[in-house]
Amino acid sequence: MGFPVRKFDAVIVGGGGAGLRAALQLSKSGLNCAVLSKVFPTRSHTVAAQGGISASLGNVQEDRWDWHMYDTVKGSDWLGDQDAIEFMCRAAPEAVIELEHMGMPFDRVESGKIYQRPFGGHTAEHGKRAVERACAVADRTGHAMLHTLYQQNVRANTQFFVEWTALDLIRNEDGDVVGVTAMEMETGDVYIFHAKAVMFATGGGGRIYASSTNAYMNTGDGLGICARAGIPLEDMEFWQFHPTGVAGAGVLITEGVRGEGGILLNADGERFMERYAPTVKDLASRDVVSRAMAMEIYEGRGCGKNKDHVLLKIDHIGAEKIMEKLPGIREISIQFAGIDPIKDPIPVVPTTHYMMGGIPTNYLGEVIVPQGDEYEVPVKGLYAAGECACASVHGANRLGTNSLLDLVVFGKSGGDSMIKFIREQDGWKPLPENAGELTRQRLERLDNQTDGENVDALRRELQRSVQLHAGVFRTDAILQEGVKQVMALAERVKKTEIKDKSKVWNTARIEALELDNLIEVAKATLVSAEARKESRGAHASDDHPERDDVNWMKHTLYHPLTNTLSYKPVHTKPLTVDYIEPAKRVY
């Protein structure tokens, strides 16, 4: 076996919002729970979440969980699983109050209740008017949430392995998951973490794109690790482009800016969203706004000397409100665009932001795979939550603020499922003879490779190719070329080399290992996107401009070991309410 072994009841890979919420559940129940994280937990990408977390608290005007459910189903373009969506929207008010009671410092409305702001796609009475549903801590909601959850975990005695990177999954002869291998990043030492149950909460993989709001650490590790262990990846063609990344920098300007009254203008000074979404205008769903912006730019109404962006104007809401509700946004604009939004509009373009697909799970956080005639059989001992998982509540397009909600709702339900599973086990299942072998082979290849390719150059080539071939607008020809290029790159990734080994620190090694994950995410994205011959949510094909419910209301499953796809039906049975029938998605 070769590597030293550490034993825990549960191992959570990822210390962001989802991982910490799950760990809290496990540690509070008295189980021995380890959290592995590439970065200090409060530096996880959840820290960047700005605008809010959704819940139908109705603190500003009347709201209901079933209106939230309707908006989420509509936002998903009817690809979301309605049982999971009902579960999440019903649980939302309790989940947010729970965070409040843990000490999360929400902003307040006059009455002292949690402050809520409007957000894209959040409506009352099934689209009749915008409603304030995003519970916010200024424009730093994720920061506040992550710190609150971290402190609670410290109190509950969760064991943190900070700057440890998980490398591979360990499955026994029956396919059950019994642990992971992981490397301490400072020393390069590898250990086996032997566990009764493992959860992936490794966040998104937005770094497959050249321009992204995602942090450099978002390399889709959970997906890559699962893919190498033969677990399929679901709905990977659906990537959300956030309408308002700072032009040239990609850094996010939250939709909360439009929630607070910001508007988008083209080069003619026209508020163009009035043409694309007459009811909710600038607060339409993200894919709708992103496509409208891309269309304005494409048709020559972009701003600046290259006519390559539009403008986000907020000066009319007043300096005082900007300083109080959007201080971080002002800072970002000044730093990354050289613009003070109190005086001038911010230049913005659509930028890759969120991965709707991921490791297939149900609303209990169990990882589910097809087996024989069954579409969804749980992999024993394996769980996933957060952006790396596909529950699927976001379907073809996520509504803003539904991700932070997804983290805490499915983090908690996944944690509960793990507790139940662990308590049913009779101790640890033995490690297989070859535990750690895949990791050993990967490391040995890297150490011995000569005449290989430079990791950094290859990653950049991959990012440019995915950006070009799986962007806002897609055609059959562009996607086919993208598949060809990514498959060729995958062959080259097998021969990466760490140049001048005597001079490099472990980061170079880790970047090479991360590239193994990025390439799995990129393959899944291109192959799934090329296959889907319709336009739905974030997947917009010029050759197939309409949604096709007859042939395509189904989830894709990319099988990494064979490079093939299979499909599974969308769940059309909510838990207690009636099915929300498909309709045209207009705002």
Ligand X SMILES: Cc1cc2nc3c(=O)[nH]c(=O)nc-3n(C[C@H](O)[C@H](O)[C@H](O)COP(=O)(O)OP(=O)(O)OC[C@H]3O[C@@H](n4cnc5c(N)ncnc54)[C@H](O)[C@@H]3O)c2cc1C
Select 82 or 214, whichever has its Cβ closest to ligand X. 214
At residue 247's C-alpha, the angle toward residues 242 and 251, to 5°, is 55
Residue nearest to ligand X (CB): 16
The answer to whether 123 and 129 have CB atoms below 8 angstroms apart is yes
How many C-beta atoms surround the C-beta of residue 2 within 10 A? Answer: 11
Candidates 21, 258, 286, 536; catalytic one:
286
Cα distances (angstroms) measured from residue 303 to each of 93, 250, 269, 291, 348: 41, 17, 9, 16, 10
The answer to whether 522 and 492 have CB atoms below 8 angstroms apart is no
User: Tokens at residue 437, please?
Assistant: 């072998």
Q: Report the C-alpha gap between 199 and 411 in whole angstroms.
A: 10
Select 81 or 516, whichever has its Cβ closest to ligand X. 516
- CB of residue 524 vs ligand X: minimum separation in angstroms? 17
The amino acid sitting at 476 is D
- CB of residue 16 vs ligand X: minimum separation in angstroms? 2
Ramachandran assignment for 25, one of left (phi > 0), alpha (psi -120 to 50 degrees), beta (any other): alpha
- 459 in catalytic set: no
Is the link from the previous residue into 392 a cis peptide, with omega within 30 of 0? yes
Long-range CB pairs of 541-545 (<8 Å, 24+ gap) are: 541/474, 541/475, 541/476, 541/479, 542/473, 542/474, 542/475, 543/475, 543/476
Q: Report the C-alpha gap between 243 and 263 in whole angstroms.
A: 12
- CB of residue 168 vs ligand X: minimum separation in angstroms? 10
- CB of residue 163 vs ligand X: minimum separation in angstroms? 9
Reference 14, options 6, 22, 3; nearest CA is 22
Select 286 or 544, whichever has its Cβ closest to ligand X. 286
Q: Report the C-alpha gap between 401 and 383 in whole angstroms.
A: 23
Torsion over CA: 354, 522, 361, 34 (sign): negative
Select 54 or 535, whichever has its Cβ closest to ligand X. 54
Select 251 or 267, whichever has its Cβ closest to ligand X. 251
Select 16 or 471, whichever has its Cβ closest to ligand X. 16
Contacts with ligand X by CB under 6 A lie at: 13-19, 36-39, 41, 44-46, 48-53, 141-142, 164-166, 201-204, 213-214, 217, 221, 252, 254, 353-354, 386-388, 401-404, 407
Burial profile 218-232: b = 16 or more Cβ within 10 angstroms, e = fewer: bbbbbbbbbbbbebb
Q: Report the C-alpha gap between 291 and 472 in whole angstroms.
A: 7
Cα distances (angstroms) measured from residue 32 to each of 13, 35, 197, 212, 237: 14, 10, 11, 36, 37
- CB of residue 502 vs ligand X: minimum separation in angstroms? 26
* Residues 6 or more apart whose Cβ sits within 8 Å of residue 448: none
Select 46 or 56, whichever has its Cβ closest to ligand X. 46
- CB of residue 386 vs ligand X: minimum separation in angstroms? 2
* Residues 6 or more apart whose Cβ sits within 8 Å of residue 520: 220, 223, 224, 227, 228, 233, 560
* Residues 6 or more apart whose Cβ sits within 8 Å of residue 428: 7, 178, 194, 195, 196
Q: For the purposes of burial, counting CB atoms within 10 Å of the CB of 119, is it exposed (0-12), middle (13-18) or buried (19 or more)? A: buried
User: Tokens at residue 303, please?
Assistant: 């701003």
- CB of residue 455 vs ligand X: minimum separation in angstroms? 16
Q: Report the C-alpha gap between 51 and 325 in whole angstroms.
A: 10
User: Tokens at residue 211, please?
Assistant: 């321009």
- CB of residue 306 vs ligand X: minimum separation in angstroms? 24
Select 138 or 265, whichever has its Cβ closest to ligand X. 138
Select 41 or 365, whichever has its Cβ closest to ligand X. 41
Select 322 or 407, whichever has its Cβ closest to ligand X. 407
- CB of residue 566 vs ligand X: minimum separation in angstroms? 25
Catalytic residues: 286
